[in-house]
Amino acid sequence: MPYVDIVFPVNLHPLTYKCPEGLEGQVKEGMIVSAPLRNRLATGIIAKQNAAPPSGPAREFAALVGDSPAFSKSLLKLLFWMSDYYLASAGSVLQQTMPKELFARTKAKTIRRASSGKTIGISDIPQEEISPILSAAAEKKYRAFLVHAPSIAHEYSMVTSLLRSSLKNVLVILPEISGADAFYRSVREVLGERVCLLHSGISKGLRSEAIEGIISGRHDIVVGTRAALFAPMKTVSLIAALQEHSASYKLEEGIRYNIRDVAVMRGFLEKAPVVLSSVTPSVDSYFNALTGKYVLLSPPPLTERPRITIVDMRYAKKVRPGISKEVVDAARSRIKSDRKIMFVINRRGYSTLLLCAECGHRETCDNCEIPLVMHKDEKTLRCHYCGSVRGVPNRCARCGSIHLELLGAGTQKMQEELEGLFGVEAVRFDSDEVKKKTGARALLKRLSEDPASVIVGTKMMTKRIGATGDFSMAAVMNTDVSLNFPDFRASEKAYRELSVIAGLIEPGGEVLVQTRFARHSLFKYLRSGDYPSFVKEELAARKELSYPPYSKLVNITVTGDAKLAEPLMRKIKGLSGDIELLGPTRSKSRKGEEEFSILLKSHSRKALNQTARSVMEKYGEVKGIKLVIDVDPA
């Protein structure tokens, strides 16, 4: 076949080239080639062989790179599925997913792997827990399993048990580099050179070495972050995504794809089972399990858990604003015993959640049932979904009280308060302190060496610390900020944040949660560890309001020309009657540019994507504006 379609890792759709004479019999789909692109030679992937010539002139590609395909047919299919689903060019998908070292290899200067540092304690898992997964892999049959794990340690142990079986060609994805490094070190001790590490934190040379080993078959187990999902294996027999709920799996730059969802699709195309695991699975994944799309596996729960204490801040005695006497007393007794404790603040600055100090009422949007956000400069309350605006009230709409307050204190202020109360130095762990990678490492080292640390931090801290289990107490100081965040997933995310914190506390320890919403059903389920009942209640609320998983969402953000908001709204309304529009909501970009967002909601994925494509065709190339399409926004 004399013509081929080539995808380059740039924002272009496939381009057609003529095959040089003498190479027709050697060309295969998935091979890497060099070809002229604009005024230079570029490297790309042969996506398709064509018998018919293109409508216009076609240049010859220059040469084949290698003797065999680097991309399997299923990996090529995944590339084009992502292009279609996430409304992006195939070249953009290739650029954002594949390591650059696939196209231009770099020699490793030193053979230094992530061989030193923390490993993960692995325990034995009963064979009956993993036998359904092994059976699906043996049958070379796609099936998605959702494992509601009792602990993060159980997730690691389960996947390690799968790797110790006779399985080959396995991809293991984790949301954070630190977790991927620790898991790699643990399994490499057992499985040796079969395992390689693949993520953006290792050197170019080591990534090249890993890719060479994957293509040659020397490495048949790949551990890493998103890069591991796109490892160029010829065949895949199992994909595992740990902590499948993680927000880190949803990209916030470039193409906004969800790594968890793409992992499921790669498993489907590879005819391989996919294991999604989490201590608190996402409500969307749990819904898929309840409706039969996934197979739910629920290992026995932990027999020992930290005690959960809910401190009702409406009535609790306070020693400082936002700090209850109950928390201070519990912390003081542990400090005297040289025990390690943590204080968690949900954000660095001050919250914009307006709350009645008397009855706990907060203003919500009449359209979206989402808490309104206070904009101090404008003295307004705004909905971040539909954009509705109202004035800041002087009195509570429920009880008439004039005692309205903004929730929250920053980490720096909390650090000062605690040091004054306890007379000890508190370690602060937030993005201001962790400005460099070495900063995070230094903080973690300090915590590991000091058995009596008092640490104050944001949820960044809980991600970085990992499941250490050597803290005796945690105090969550302002969980109401998360619980009332302007997002229909706020309760789900708040439950998850609290569960992650509880996972850092030793059995028999205590988690104290300060809240003005002590009667919220979340706390009932959190105390009993009954996550399935929480999910069912959450699903019932979302169904009533037609939020996902009972509908689909696409968010369109335009930066650079706020005057386009109304014309764009009119165009979308004229394209489809099956779509509900929320917005526009106006804001400023990180660079200070004017921008607005429109949220599209529908039961029809087809209607949403067709509408978004029409918007891209009309406004995607308009000079001076930037258009971002976010499919399935988190």
Q: Is the pLDDT confidence value at 186 over 80?
A: yes
pLDDT of residue 361: 87
CATH code, domain carrying 183: 3.40.50.300
State the average pLDDT over residues 130-154.
96
Name the β-bridge partners of 241: 173, 276
pLDDT of residue 111: 45
Lowest mean pLDDT of 34-38, 301-305, 341-345, 430-434, name the range: 430-434
Q: What total number of domains does the chain contain?
A: 4
DSSP state of 259: H
131 in the same domain as 200: yes
Range of the domain at 618: 552-631
141 in the same domain as 57: no
Distance CA 70, CA 486 (A): 45
State the average pLDDT over residues 345-371.
74
Identity of the amino acid at 526: L
Query: Is residue 277 in some structural domain?
Result: yes
Whether the Cβ atoms of residue 453 and residue 468 lie closer than 8 Å to each other: no
pLDDT of residue 351: 41
Query: Is residue 120 in some structural domain?
Result: no
Query: Is residue 208 in some structural domain?
Result: yes
| Domain-terminating residue out of 87, 102, 117 | 102
Backbone φ and ψ of 395, nearest 5°: -130, 160
Whether the Cβ atoms of residue 486 and residue 383 lie closer than 8 Å to each other: yes
Q: Residue 426: which of 345, 314, 519 has the closest Cα?
A: 345
538 in the same domain as 556: no
Start-to-end Cα distance in the chain: 44
| Domain-terminating residue out of 542, 573, 591 | 542
| Domain-terminating residue out of 542, 574, 597 | 542
Please tell me which residue, 111 or 300, carries the higher pLDDT value: 300
331 in the same domain as 216: no
Q: How far is CA 228 from CA 48, 246, 256, 483, 510, in A?
A: 25, 16, 18, 34, 37
pLDDT of residue 590: 72
State the average pLDDT over residues 1-7.
88
pLDDT band at 414, cuts 50/70/90?
Answer: confident
Query: Is residue 169 in some structural domain?
Result: yes
Lowest mean pLDDT of 363-372, 414-423, 553-562, name the range: 363-372
State the average pLDDT over residues 2-22.
93
CATH code, domain carrying 12: 3.40.1440.60
535 in the same domain as 500: yes
Whether the Cβ atoms of residue 322 and residue 409 lie closer than 8 Å to each other: yes
State the average pLDDT over residues 476-482.
89
277 in the same domain as 131: yes
pLDDT, one tens digit per residue, over 198-257 is 999 999 999 999 999 999 999 999 999 999 999 999 999 999 999 999 999 999 999 999
Distance CA 287, CA 549 (A): 7
pLDDT, one tens digit per residue, over 58-104 is 899 999 998 899 999 999 999 999 999 999 999 999 999 998 888 88
pLDDT, one tens digit per residue, over 508-547 is 999 999 999 999 999 999 999 999 999 999 999 999 999 9
pLDDT band at 440, cuts 50/70/90?
Answer: low
Query: Is residue 250 in some structural domain?
Result: yes
Whether the Cβ atoms of residue 152 and residue 467 lie closer than 8 Å to each other: yes
Strand extents, DSSP E, 300-393: 307-312, 318-320, 323-324, 341-344, 354-356, 373-375, 380-382, 389-391
CA 499 to chain CA mean position, Å: 16
pLDDT of residue 404: 86
Q: Which percentage of the chain shows pLDDT scores above 70?
A: 92
pLDDT of residue 345: 86
160 in the same domain as 255: yes
Query: Residue 613 contacts by C-beta under 8 Å, 6 or more apart in sequence?
Result: 87
Whether the Cβ atoms of residue 237 and residue 170 lie closer than 8 Å to each other: yes
Q: What angle do CA 362, 582, 256 make, to 5 degrees?
A: 100
Distance CA 268, CA 96 (A): 21
Determine the length of the chain. Answer: 634
Query: Is residue 117 in some structural domain?
Result: no
237 in the same domain as 343: no
pLDDT of residue 388: 85
94 in the same domain as 215: no
- For the record, the structure tokens of 15 come out as 């381009």
pLDDT, one tens digit per residue, over 586-600 is 887 777 788 999 999
Query: Is residue 362 in some structural domain?
Result: no
Element (H, E) at 554: strand 552-559
321 in the same domain as 292: no
pLDDT, one tens digit per residue, over 390-404 is 898 999 999 999 888
* Counts of helices then strands in the chain (DSSP H, E): 19, 29
325 in the same domain as 265: no
pLDDT band at 53, cuts 50/70/90?
Answer: confident
Query: Is residue 379 in some structural domain?
Result: no
Q: Is the pLDDT confidence value at 194 over 90?
A: yes
Please tell me which residue, 533 or 432, carries the higher pLDDT value: 533
pLDDT band at 451, cuts 50/70/90?
Answer: low
State the average pLDDT over residues 311-333.
94
261 in the same domain as 338: no
Q: Is the pLDDT confidence value at 365 over 70?
A: yes
